[in-house]
Amino acid sequence: MLWKIFSVIKRRGAGGRKEENKVGDLGELGDRIRRRGSMVQRRRVLPVVVDDGDCGYLLFRINVNRLFSSSQSQETKMRRLPAPVTRFATMPHRPERIDFALAGGGATLVGVSSQHRTVLHDAASGVTSAGPELAHDKVGCCFVVPLGRRRLCAVKRRHYDYPASPDEPTEPLGETLVGGAWRALPDPPPDLIRSRRGNPACLLTACFAAGKRLWVSARDRGTYSVDTAARAADGWRKEGDWQLPFQCRGLLAPDLAPGLCFGLCPRTTRLCACDVRRSPPPVRYAWDDTRPCWPTSFSQENIATVARLPDSSLAYLGDGEFCIAWTIAISEDNSTIRQRALWLMGVKIGKNSPSAPLRLLHHKACIYELPDRALMAYALHAD
């Protein structure tokens, strides 16, 4: 079953006995553990997927420890990416887009194709395999959102609805992967997907998940949520005429601030946090120092401008640490793109006491050179 891939099973040896502690003095043992902890640095690895144009998609694993080092100096020299972990080939002679998400706590990378395909990559073994076929296409792009360790949802970000009659069934807004097969979400409310005068498309702008429930915002149509385990249309409900105050996918960080959803502001792409327990969710924090602010020169010559491309992404590493990823285009004459690069920022959020407000403790950025054919790069969040 596919759900088994989303779980990491730890087995004990046949004997099952624990090794006895050979250090007689417990005080000495404690000293050794403290000294070892001070010398060993937490290794932070950020999975990044790069759209390499006609050549498919590349998966990288980037050590981002430097982004959380005590040094506050910002890097301006462009770095090289490590060797890719694997490549996901696209279908020949057919346009195909693949959207990715990490499932099973990061154990499995799942790719959802616009051509009905599902791609699975096991992080432990490095094996890539084909998953179950989707019943409906995901033309354009979609949100791929894990809901726990055994469920994943793929929702089209742009949905066109041209029914021949009001009674004709419409194509589902998304599908849920559970038990090794894709299953269509319950039919969404008509006022969410039906064509409107001057606005024939339902454009989803943001989403977040909690448990088995998924929240989505649609431009000019409000915010809705759906119980992804439900089969009937009453699994949907309208939350309000407002939109979630961030772009793309928002992330919950219960270890940092229960009830807050972290995301990137739609216009500035700075890190923000809103209270999703309220309706509409008020923005509690917005950290100006996390907006993209790069130099116009990276110690190179003949660079005229640097522009941020759409679809910034956010990943939470735990312990109050976030990574923000932007794809930037570097041009020489304000029109011709000379190079694309990945701009990463590490952000540390914390508080002075349990009752104190959140504050920005640290932020640092670095730049990575993207392959010549690369179009976009996306940081992946491990649920």
Give the angle subtended at the CA of 140 by the CAs of 144 and 216, to the nearest 5°: 45
* pLDDT 10s digits, 17-37: 333 333 334 344 344 434 444
Say which residues have a Cβ less than 8 Å from residue 305's Cβ, sequence separation at least 6. Answer: 296, 330, 331, 334
Tell the residue number behind the tokens 């096991």, with chain if given.
122
Tell the residue number behind the tokens 């088995």, with chain if given.
212
Which residues are paired to 344 by β-bridges? 325, 366
Which residues are paired to 244 by β-bridges? none
- CA gap 223, 210 in Å, rounded: 15
Give the chain's end-to-end CA distance (angstroms, integer).
Answer: 20
* Residue-level pLDDT at 114: 92
DSSP string, 115-142: TS-EEEEETTT--EEE-PPPSS---S-E
- CA gap 224, 13 in Å, rounded: 48
* Residue-level pLDDT at 331: 79
* Residue-level pLDDT at 269: 92
- CA gap 174, 156 in Å, rounded: 6
pTM, rounded to two decimals: 0.84
Task: Indicate the residue type of 168.
Answer: E
Q: Domains of the chain, with CATH numbers?
A: 44-379 (2.120.10.30)
**151: exposed, middle or buried (C-beta count within 10 Å: 0-12, 13-18, 19+)?**
buried
Report the side by side order of strands in the sheet with 181-184: 142-146, 152-156, 174-178, 181-184
Sign of CA dihedral 27, 28, 29, 31: positive
* Residue-level pLDDT at 37: 42
54 three-class SS: helix
- CA gap 160, 202 in Å, rounded: 6
| Burial per residue of 37-71, b for 16 or more beta-carbon CB atoms within 10 angstroms, e otherwise | eeeeeeebebbbbbbbeeebbbbbbbebeebbeee
Please count the other Cβ atoms lying within 10 Å of the Cβ belonging to residue 243.
20
Residue 146 tokens, joined = 């894990």
Is the CB of residue 49 less than 8 Å from the CB of residue 377? yes
pLDDT in tens, the chain (383 residues): 344 434 432 333 334 433 333 333 434 434 443 444 433 457 899 999 999 998 899 999 999 999 998 776 666 688 999 999 999 999 988 889 999 999 988 999 999 999 999 999 999 999 999 999 998 888 778 999 999 888 999 999 987 765 545 555 567 889 999 889 999 998 888 888 776 665 667 889 999 999 999 999 999 899 999 999 887 768 899 999 999 999 999 999 999 999 999 999 998 999 999 999 999 999 999 999 999 876 655 545 555 577 788 789 999 999 999 999 999 888 776 667 778 999 999 999 999 888 899 999 999 999 999 999 999 999 999 87
* pLDDT 10s digits, 199-241: 667 889 999 999 999 999 999 899 999 999 887 768 899 999 9
Give the angle subtended at the CA of 317 by the CAs of 370 and 351, to the nearest 5°: 125
* Closest C-alpha among 253, 325, 280 to residue 100: 325
* Residue-level pLDDT at 7: 40
Residue 85 tokens, joined = 């972990």
Element (H, E) at 34: helix 26-39
Is the CB of residue 264 less than 8 Å from the CB of residue 314? yes
* Residue-level pLDDT at 195: 63
